[in-house]
Every structure is written in structure tokens, then in C-alpha cells.
Amino acid sequence: MLGISDFRPIVPRLLTVLCVVSIPLVSADLRAIERTTRAWTETSGAIPAPAVPPQPAIKSFNPKETSVFTDQEAFLNAVTCRTLSLESFEDLAAFNQINSSVVSVADFTVTTDNPPRLGIWNQRYQGAFATDGNQWMGIEENQLIVPQVTTLSFDVLINHFGLYVTDYGDFGDGNLIFASDAGDEATAAFSGEPSSNRQFFGIINSSKGFRTVTLTHSLEGEFYGVDEIYYCWAAGPPDAPISRRSSGRVIPD
């Protein structure tokens, strides 16, 4: 009959064989997991989630003092500033990729958490596109860290703000939320929209000015475009014809 001592020379060899076989399996599993995570962002080729019903709009403001718009024409008709500024990113270098931590223009800067997540494009990309001129700003949640906050910090006091958002909400469920340091909060763009959608958002606060705007969303891997940003300050109705200033130039209506 064999005793325990008779198996002692065999045990180390068995352990060695098991270790040699198991290590490649673990490495293969890790490579498979890595290939899967690479496709979790919209720009890396992941398939957008099925469309979901739009979530209810968020409105956190005094409707007697603040008006929210989803139609560009209605917003422009309601503007009371003597000069309405328009930024369309036409004067910036376009590299058509996410490569910037900060985007700076005439009267404001744009930043995000966990940079770089910004870039300037002069061509259509991932369903996003320019709504005015040829260039636009792309914003990507490319690190699977949400919520993502994009901040516009203005050098001037404003109480009118508007913009177009393109290709938002085709990659999951979660609205894009606007907030300002005047305390206003509202839905800027809805999820559950098809690829290449275009959504306008505008807000006018007749009683309070603000210098900071944030756009927050919770869609992992989402990529969307922003263009045609309107902003101005007005203490009351205009006493002269309204003009529009684009990239430092005043353009009469």
C-alpha cells in the first residue's frame, strides 16, 4: 500500500503544471475584458443604446422671473439686450479630436472635470455637427466617470443664454441639465433622441445675472456637440435696435 510519503515527489510537479496552464487563461480573460471596455464609449465604436422615452423636464426657477426656450426663434424674439453676442468657435484651430482641457473664446472659457474632454471640429463627427458656420465644440465622456460637468465661465455678467446641442441622448438614458450660479436649473437636452439630433435651449432671467453655466449629464461614453452660443445682459427692454455680435464683430439685424 502506498503511503503519503510516496506522493510527495509528485505534488510539486502537479502544482507547476497547474500554474503554467492557468496563467495564460487569466491573461486571455484580461485581454477579452480590455477589448470589451474599449468599446464602451461612443467614439470607440460602441452601439448606441435603444431610444428611451424622454425624461420629464427639470425646471427649478421662478417662472415669473425666468423663461426657458426650446425654440431658437422664440428665444431670439424674446431677447431684450441691445447687443446679443454669438459664439460659434469659428476663430479657433480645429483639430477634429478630443485634445483640450480648456477652450477659450472672447468672453468665456469652457472646462470639464477629468480633462481632456473637449475639442474643436470643422467637420461632422459621430452625428454631431455645426449649426452656425463650419466649426463646433465636441464634448466627450471618455473615461466612464459620471456625472460629467462642463463649465462655461463668463468674463461678463449675463442674464440671457442659449445654445444648440447636437447628437445628445442617443447613447443612453439621462438628460443634459443646465444650471447657473443665479440658482436656475433646467433641462437643456433630452435623452432618448436619435443619432444626429439637434436640440436648442435658451434661458432668460429677468431679475438675476450670472457668470457661470454648467451642463451636467450621466451618460457613460456619451459624445455630443455644442455650437451657436448666445449670451448677453439686459436690465430691461431695449431702447435701441438689437444687434448681434459674433466673434467680436457686431452684426446688425
Q: Write the pLDDT tens digit of every residue in 220-229.
A: 888 999 999 9
Would the pLDDT of 196 be above 50?
yes
Instruction: Answer whether residue 43 is part of any domain.
Output: no
pLDDT tens figures, 237-247: 655 555 666 65
The set of residues, in sequence order, having a beta carbon less than 8 Å from that of 1 and lying 6+ positions away, is none
Number of domains in the chain: 2
Instruction: Answer whether residue 44 is part of any domain.
Output: no
Boundaries of domain holding 112? 59-252
Q: Which three cell numbers stand for residue 235?
A: 436690465
Q: Are 17 and 92 found together in one domain?
A: no
Mean pLDDT of 150-174: 94
Half-sphere exposure of 142 (CA within 13 A, CB side): 19
User: Residue 11: which H helix or E strand, with range?
Assistant: helix 10-38
Q: Are 13 and 128 found together in one domain?
A: no
Distance CA 194, CA 93 (A): 29
Q: Are 148 and 230 found together in one domain?
A: yes
**Residue 45 pLDDT class (50, 70, 90 cuts):** low
Instruction: Answer whether residue 52 is part of any domain.
Output: no
Distance CA 60, CA 48 (A): 30
Lowest mean pLDDT among 5-14, 68-77, 211-220, 232-241: 5-14
Q: Which three cell numbers stand for residue 10?
A: 509528485
Report the pLDDT value the prediction gives residue 150, as an integer from 0 to 100.
97
Would the pLDDT of 164 be above 70?
yes
Instruction: Answer whether residue 227 is part of any domain.
Output: yes
What CATH number is attached to the domain comprising 91?
2.60.120
Q: Are 185 and 214 found together in one domain?
A: yes
The better pLDDT of the pair 233, 244 is held by: 233
The sign of the torsion formed by the CA atoms of 113, 117, 119, 121 equals negative
Q: Are 156 and 33 found together in one domain?
A: no
Report the pLDDT value the prediction gives residue 170, as an integer from 0 to 100.
85
Report the pLDDT value the prediction gives residue 54, as an integer from 0 to 100.
64
The better pLDDT of the pair 55, 207 is held by: 207
What is the model's pTM? Answer: 0.76
Would the pLDDT of 1 be above 90?
no
Q: Are 31 and 119 found together in one domain?
A: no
Q: Which three cell numbers stand for residue 7?
A: 506522493
**Residue 248 pLDDT class (50, 70, 90 cuts):** very low
**Residue 40 pLDDT class (50, 70, 90 cuts):** low
Report the pLDDT value the prediction gives residue 49, as an integer from 0 to 100.
57
pLDDT tens figures, 111-138: 999 999 999 999 999 999 999 999 999 9
Report the pLDDT value the prediction gives residue 157, as an integer from 0 to 100.
96
Q: Are 213 and 113 found together in one domain?
A: yes
Sheet holding 210-217, edge to edge: 59-60, 185-189, 176-180, 210-217, 148-158, 108-112, 102-104
Would the pLDDT of 201 be above 70?
yes
How far lies 197's CA from each of 99, 131, 153, 194, 225, in Å?
24, 11, 26, 6, 10
- Average pLDDT taken over every residue of the chain: 81
Instruction: Answer whether residue 144 is part of any domain.
Output: yes
Report the pLDDT value the prediction gives residue 243, as an integer from 0 to 100.
62
Report the pLDDT value the prediction gives residue 16, as an integer from 0 to 100.
45
- 212-238 CB burial, b ≥16 within 10 A, e <16: ebbbbbbbbbbbbbbbbbbbbbbeeee
The sign of the torsion formed by the CA atoms of 203, 204, 209, 211 equals positive
Q: Are 33 and 114 found together in one domain?
A: no
Q: Are 22 and 90 found together in one domain?
A: no
Q: Are 32 and 99 found together in one domain?
A: no
Q: Are 28 and 63 found together in one domain?
A: no
Instruction: Answer whether residue 110 is part of any domain.
Output: yes
Q: Are 12 and 64 found together in one domain?
A: no
Q: Which three cell numbers stand for residue 122?
A: 470643422
The set of residues, in sequence order, having a beta carbon less than 8 Å from that of 52 and lying 6+ positions away, is 173, 191, 192
Mean pLDDT of 171-178: 89
Mean pLDDT of 7-15: 48
Instruction: Answer whether residue 74 is part of any domain.
Output: yes
**Residue 69 pLDDT class (50, 70, 90 cuts):** very high
Instruction: Answer whether residue 48 is part of any domain.
Output: no
